[in-house]
Amino acid sequence: MSNEAAVAQNRSTENRSVSLGSAAGPLGYLALGLTLLAFGLLGTGVLNDAGVKDAGSLALFVGGLTLFIAGLLEFRGGSAVTGTAFTALGAFWVTWSQAAAASKDATALFLILWALLALTLTATHWLGGELVRGVYALFTVSLVLLAIGVLASNDTLGKVAGWVAAVAGLLAWYSATSALAGGSWGRLGLPVR
């Protein structure tokens, strides 16, 4: 194989990796949106006999596994920021799905530590789109409110945290849908940035 053919093959492989990474973004934000929406709505108390812990399977497989895989694809595509976000959030959801027996203090500490991660994700996406920045900012607020609610045994703060998480989920879902539609909505769609 000549040098020119090898360079062309390498470029082809690089382009394929980038497209895998960029294609994983909407998948990751759909998974994040679904998980946050379920997590949030179950936390609000609007569904009888259901709570945040009932989202365990969804958190494990959609939030955990799917986000982790999307994160690895983002890393492969060259996006360290989104790759880090998705793999870290995948780890969060896997851990959350398994943390049913944790004490009140351990749960609050867990939520505060993950709120710090969400705050980091908000900062790293500061120059990105407003919707994505809003997803991480609202997720941060939700985790902080939930941690305070857990420590204070305040169900009202937990419900407010649920609504904030649900809105973050809707933003993530909209961001992914907009990216998948490729701007084909014209004036009817909300802007992504």
Average pLDDT over residues 11-38: 68
pLDDT in tens, 113-166: 999 999 999 998 877 778 889 999 999 999 999 999 999 999 999 999 999 999
Which residue reads 């093959």 in tokens?
Answer: 9
Q: Is the dihedral of CA 54, 101, 95, 158 positive or negative?
A: positive
Concatenating the DSSP letter of every residue in 71-125 gives: HHHHHHTT-HHHHHHHHHHHHHHHHHHH-TT--HHHHHHHHHHHHHHHHHHHHHT
Q: Which residue has the higher pLDDT, 73 or 185?
A: 73
User: For residue 93, how many other CB atoms are within 10 A of its CB?
Assistant: 28
- 189 pLDDT more than 50: yes
Q: What percent of the chain has pLDDT over 90?
A: 44
| Whole-number CA gyration radius for the chain | 18
- 10 pLDDT more than 80: no
Domains, the chain, with CATH or none: 15-188 (1.25.40)
User: For residue 159, how many other CB atoms are within 10 A of its CB?
Assistant: 18
Residue 47, token pair as written in the block: 């569904």
Yes or no: say if 145 and 154 are a contact pair by the CB < 8 Å rule.
Answer: no
Quick one: pLDDT at residue 183? 58
Quick one: pLDDT at residue 103? 84
